[in-house]
């Protein structure tokens, strides 16, 4: 037996999303844990895929992506945020948001560089930074409002700060950044060479008439930002694993040096299908309203229960407190809920390095009405 080399990520196990989905399947529970829709994507989109596959578009796409798709992406960003990206030199189609994040970190973070993240943080940020020798500095956002104290964030900045990672709308809290937050961020990075990695994969899922303030709207931020988005969330196709990174040319040039050796290029017929589908803007402009109805249905159904409902301004996740029901930690509570009450959720503590426990769990409401109804029924019994 050979002696195994030391793990490069000795503290990392299997992601909480895979764990909870597995537990849900083992217990035949309603799976509101991992974030994915349980309904079909639009048939029109599927027909486009079918068309391009059968038409013979089955070989490598150009490394940065199909130009028709990159043009639709830049058109979308311009229409939504009045920001201009050059389709050919400033957009790279990636194999999902996670790959875009990985590549962005791999491209810029070197040994001992510091990267600031906001917790609860999506679980890939920290291990990816560590893999490239970076050091994570964290600001903890806390239940119930998950507000950011920018004075504290400023204190995390040093001459080693290479990057700040933001996630807006935030998974798992469902909070969005406000104008004031972005103005504070502008002040922090002004006259520095700090880069921003802006994970905006839930960009179109914002509720109650609020506006998604993309980093692209702010020239002082855009010039230093790698903006990451995901078609999985936009068109209910998380299993297609396709997204993109938009960034100024100089940053994109560097990003593609890594991208070309990591994935090289992304699924050709799906890129073409997405481009054709995106010609109709209604396909993404109504997403907020679509999910708002699901959010409201879930919130209404849970209003009379012992769960506490935290604000949900965006994403397709509803955060729930359960301190009236149990004093167990959130991981044990979520496991028990799956096994005994047949509803799987995601606990918040894995989104914190110190496993901070505010007794909060996350439910995904990107589900059919009947799925939500069954979940509400089970949760009402607690």
Q: Rank residues 74 and 230 by Cβ distance to ligand GLN and give the closer one.
A: 230
User: Is residue 305 near ligand GLN by the rule CB under 6 A?
Assistant: no
User: Is residue 318 near ligand GLN by the rule CB under 6 A?
Assistant: no
The answer to whether residues 57 and 69 touch, using CB atoms and an 8 Å cutoff, is no
Find, among 206, 127, 205, 138, the residue nearest to 166 by Cα.
Answer: 138
User: Is residue 134 near ligand GLN by the rule CB under 6 A?
Assistant: no
DSSP letters, 219-244, are HHHHTTEEEEEEHHHHTT-GGG--EE
Cβ of residue 111: shortest distance to ligand GLN, in angstroms? 27
* CA separation for the pair 55, 213 (Å, rounded): 39
The answer to whether residues 359 and 349 touch, using CB atoms and an 8 Å cutoff, is no
Cβ of residue 34: shortest distance to ligand GLN, in angstroms? 5
Residues 141-180 that bind ligand GLN (CB under 6 A): 171
Q: How large is the C-alpha radius of gyration of the chain?
A: 21
Q: Which pair of structure tokens corresponds to residue 307?
A: 């769960």
Residue nearest to ligand GLN (CB): 35
Cβ of residue 67: shortest distance to ligand GLN, in angstroms? 28
Query: Pick from 19, 31, 34, 371: which binds ligand GLN (CB under 6 A)?
Result: 34
Find, among 381, 340, 334, the residue nearest to 32 by Cα.
Answer: 334
Cβ of residue 342: shortest distance to ligand GLN, in angstroms? 19
Cβ of residue 332: shortest distance to ligand GLN, in angstroms? 20
Cβ of residue 193: shortest distance to ligand GLN, in angstroms? 30
Edge-first strand listing for the sheet containing 243-246: 91-94, 243-246, 225-230, 195-199, 161-167, 114-119, 135-140
Beta pairing partners, 229: 244
Alpha helix positions (H), the chain: 16-26, 43-55, 67-81, 87-90, 97-108, 125-131, 150-156, 179-189, 219-222, 231-234, 249-262, 268-278, 282-285, 287-302, 330-341, 369-380
* CA separation for the pair 296, 293 (Å, rounded): 5
Cβ of residue 15: shortest distance to ligand GLN, in angstroms? 6
Q: Kindly write out the interface string for residues 104-133 of this chain, putting x where it contacts ligand GLN by CB under 6 A and - elsewhere.
A: ------------------------------
Q: Rank residues 52 and 125 by Cβ distance to ligand GLN and give the closer one.
A: 125
Q: Rank residues 161 and 338 by Cβ distance to ligand GLN and give the closer one.
A: 338
Q: Rank residues 17 and 150 by Cβ distance to ligand GLN and give the closer one.
A: 17
Query: Pick from 19, 30, 31, 35: which binds ligand GLN (CB under 6 A)?
Result: 35
Per the listing, tokens 């502008």 go with 186
Cβ of residue 3: shortest distance to ligand GLN, in angstroms? 31
Please give the distance of CA 146 from its chain centroid, rounded to a whole number. Answer: 17
User: Is residue 15 near ligand GLN by the rule CB under 6 A?
Assistant: yes
CA angle 332, 37, 307 (to 5 degrees): 40
User: Is residue 352 near ligand GLN by the rule CB under 6 A?
Assistant: no
Count, residues near ligand GLN per rule CB under 6 A: 5
Beta strands at 317-321 and 308-309: parallel, antiparallel or unpaired: antiparallel
Cβ of residue 35: shortest distance to ligand GLN, in angstroms? 3
Residues lying near ligand GLN in the complex (CB under 6 A): 15, 17, 34-35, 171
């Amino acid at each position: 037996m050979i002696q195994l080399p030391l793990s490069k990520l000795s503290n990392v196990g299997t992601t909480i999303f895979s764990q909870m989905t597995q537990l849900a399947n083992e217990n035949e529970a309603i799976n509101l844990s991992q974030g994915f829709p349980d309904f079909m994507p639009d048939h029109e989109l599927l027909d486009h895929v079918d068309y391009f596959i059968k038409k013979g578009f089955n070989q490598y796409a150009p490394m940065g992506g199909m130009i028709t798709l990159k043009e639709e992406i830049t058109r979308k960003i311009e229409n939504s945020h009045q920001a201009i990206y050059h389709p050919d030199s400033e957009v790279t189609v990636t194999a999902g948001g996670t790959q875009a994040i990985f590549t962005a970190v791999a491209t810029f973070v070197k040994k001992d560089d510091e990267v600031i993240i906001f917790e609860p943080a999506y679980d890939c940020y920290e291990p990816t930074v560590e893999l490239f020798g970076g050091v994570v500095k964290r600001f903890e956002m806390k239940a119930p409002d998950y507000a950011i104290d920018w004075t504290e964030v400023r204190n995390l900045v040093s001459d080693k700060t290479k990057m700040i990672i933001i996630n807006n709308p935030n998974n798992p809290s469902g909070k969005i950044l406000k104008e004031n937050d972005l103005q504070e961020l502008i002040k922090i990075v002004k006259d520095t060479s700090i880069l921003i990695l802006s994970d905006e994969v839930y960009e179109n899922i914002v509720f109650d008439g609020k506006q998604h303030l993309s980093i692209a709207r702010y020239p002082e931020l855009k010039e230093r930002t790698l903006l990451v988005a995901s078609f999985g969330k936009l068109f209910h196709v998380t299993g297609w694993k396709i997204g993109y990174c938009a960034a100024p040319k100089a940053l994109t040039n560097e990003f593609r040096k890594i991208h070309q050796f990591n994935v090289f290029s992304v699924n050709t017929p799906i890129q073409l299908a997405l481009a054709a589908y995106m010609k109709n803007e209604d396909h993404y402009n109504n997403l907020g309203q679509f999910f708002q109805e699901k959010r409201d249905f879930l919130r209404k159904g849970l209003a009379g229960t012992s769960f506490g409902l935290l604000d949900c301004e965006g994403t397709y996740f509803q955060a729930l407190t359960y301190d009236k029901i149990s004093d167990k930690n959130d991981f044990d509570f979520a496991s028990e809920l799956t096994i005994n009450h047949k509803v799987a959720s995601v606990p918040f503590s894995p989104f914190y390095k110190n496993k901070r426990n505010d007794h909060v769990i996350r439910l995904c409401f990107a589900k059919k009405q009947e799925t939500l109804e069954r979940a509400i029924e089970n949760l009402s019994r607690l």
